[in-house]
Amino acid sequence: MTHRFDPTSLREYDIRGIVGQTLGPDDARAIGRGFATLLRRAGGTRVAVGRDGRLSSPALEEALIDGLTKSGCSVVRTGMGPTPMLYYAEATLEVDGGIQITGSHNPGHYNGFKMVFQHASFFGEQIQLLGRMAAEGDWDEGDGSETVTDADVEDLYVGRLIAGYAGGAYRVGWDTGNGAAGPVVEKLVKLLPGEHHTLFTDVDGNFPNHHPDPTDEKNLADLKRLVAEKQLDFGLAFDGDGDRLGAIDGQGRVIWGDQLLSILAEPVLRVEPGATIIADVKASQMLFDRVAELGGKPLMWKTGHSLVKTKMKETHAPLAGEMSGHIFFAQDYYGFDDAQYAAIRLIQAIHVIGKSLTELRDAMPRLVNTPEMRFQVDESRKFAVVDEVLDRLEAEGADVDRTDGARVNTADGWWLLRASNTQDVLVARAEAGDQAGLDRLLAQIDDQLAKSGLVRGETVAH
C-alpha cells in the first residue's frame, strides 16, 4: 500500500493544507504510518495526539490514530486544546513523540499537523521523508499490542502555567478568537489575581467573530474596544492554536512580537546575566540593541518555530521569539512556543519592571517600519532571486547579514528580503528612523527586485 501527498502540504515546519482539496483522512493515516515507523525504528513506542477546535479535526484525529497503531505505536489522546498543551503532554507524559492536529492561524477550511519526535522538533527533511516513505509504502506493521488511551491533561497544564506565578493584580482583556486556547484561558484567569474579561473563549471552528491571527491588527478590533470600554490595563490575544501571542497596551496600541520580547528579556536577564536571547531576522534593531543594553547577547536567527527551538537548545538560550508572536521560554519552562505561558510571563515582567505596559510602550524608540510584505513569485525563482540580490549587494560592498535571506543595514536603517519556506512568496520588511528614510529603503528593495525582473506586488495572505 502506498500514498502520495499533495506536494504543497509538506511544508518546512509542519504539514498543512485545505481539507478536501490538498489534505484529508488518507493523508492523516499516511502521516501516522510514517511517523510511527520512524519512531519504532528509533526505539520509541508511544505517541501523544491532540487536536484543535476545527470542524475537520476529529476525523483527521481518527485517521491519524489508525495509521499510528497500524504501524505499531500506542497512542495517548490528550483531546482538544492548544498546541502547547500537546507539547506539554509530550514533555511530561511517558511518550516518545507527539502530534497536534491543527490549522494554526489559517482560515477554518485549513488543517494540518505539528509534530515532536523524541522531545525535538520534527521538520524540514524529516517531513519530506514522510512523503517518500508513503510513496514507497515503507511502513512497519504493528504486532497487535498497541493501545489507545485518554489522558486528561488540561488541568495539569493550567496548573503548570500558573506554577510559581509572582506577578501583580492587573485588569486584563483576553481574546482567544474562538480558537483552541479558550477553555484553558477561562481556567487560567480564575486562578490569577486582578480583574479579567474574556472574549470569544467558546471554541468554534467557523471562527465567527474574527480570524484567529493576532499579528493582523484588524483582528484586534474587538479587544481594543473591550480595553477602551472597561479602561483595562492591557489586552492579550491568541491565535487559533494558542502558540502565538498578541498584545495591546492600555491605549490600544499593538505591542508587536519583537517589542514583547524586549520587555520579557529584562527579568530573564536579571536571573541569567549575559544569556543569549534569540530573535528572527524580521525583528527590529531596537530589540537587539535593547538586549545588549540589558547585558544579554542578542542573536539574530532564521524565521521558523522549529529552527528557533533547535537554535535555543544549541545555544542554551533562556528566551527566544519571532515577529509572528511565537515566544519560547527555556528559563523555568520547556523551550517550546506557548502563548498562554508567555502571557503569564508578560504579566510577571510588567510587575517586576514596575511600569505599566503603556509606560513601557511609551519608552520604546520611535521608529517607522513596514508590516511584513509578502508577494507572489514563482516557486522555482524565489530562492534564486534572493541569491541574485545577495551577489549584487556583495559586489557593491553593502553591509549585509545572510542569516536568512538578505538583511541590509544602511545609514537610514535596515531592509530585509527573504524567501518564505512555506509559500511561493518573497517576504520583505524595512525599518527607519523617519518616513523619508523608509522611502529610501523601499526604493532599494524595488531596485533590487527590478534587476531580477520582479516588481514588489500586492501583499498576499499567509
Angle between helices 25-41 and 125-136 (to 10 degrees): 110
* Residues 103, 277: Cα–Cα separation, whole Å: 29
What is the amino acid identity at position 92?
Answer: T
Return left, alpha or beta for 183; rule: phi > 0 is left, psi -120 to 50 is alpha, else beta: alpha
Nearest to 405 by CA among 395, 422, 420: 420
Q: Is 145 a catalytic residue?
A: no
Nearest to 418 by CA among 285, 282, 325, 301: 282
User: How does strand 234-238 pair with strand 170-175?
Assistant: parallel
Could you say which DSSP state residue 19 is in? B
DSSP3 helix / strand / coil % (the chain, rounded to 5): 40, 25, 40
The H or E element spanning position 394 is helix 379-396
CA angle 135, 140, 142 (to 5 degrees): 135
Could you say which DSSP state residue 174 is in? E
> Which alpha helices (DSSP H) does 177-220 contain, by range?
182-191
Residue 239 in contact with residue 327, Cβ under 8 Å?
A: no
* Residues 444, 397: Cα–Cα separation, whole Å: 14
Contacts of 237 (CB under 8 A, 6+ apart): 174, 175, 176, 177, 214, 219, 220, 223, 245, 246, 247, 248
Residue 185 in contact with residue 198, Cβ under 8 Å?
A: yes
Annotated catalytic residue, options 56, 71, 74, 104: 104
Q: The C-alpha cell of 445 is what?
A: 528593495
Angle between helices 154-162 and 83-92 (to 10 degrees): 90
- CB neighbourhood size of 220 (10 A): 23
Name the residues annotated as catalytic: 104
